Structure 1
Amino acid sequence: MFQELAPHDLHDKCGHHYAICLDLKNQRFEVLDSMRSAADADLTTHAEYFINNLKETWNRHYKHSKDCGFHTLEYLAKWEGRLVPDVTAAMVVELRKIYTWNWLTNEDFNTRSNAREFIEEAVKKVTKKYK
Structure 2
Amino acid sequence: MFSLIKNERLCDRVDALLEACDKWNLSISVVKSFWGMSNVEYLGHRVSKGGLEANPKDLEALTDLAFPGSLRSMQSFLGSLNYYSRQSYLLYELREVDFAAMSKDDVRIQIKRSMEHKELDQLDLKEDPG
Shared fold, TM over 0.5: no
Higher relative contact order (CA 8 A, sep 6+): 1
- TM score, norm. by length of structure 2: 0.29
| Bigger CA radius of gyration | 2
- TM (norm. structure 1) is 0.29
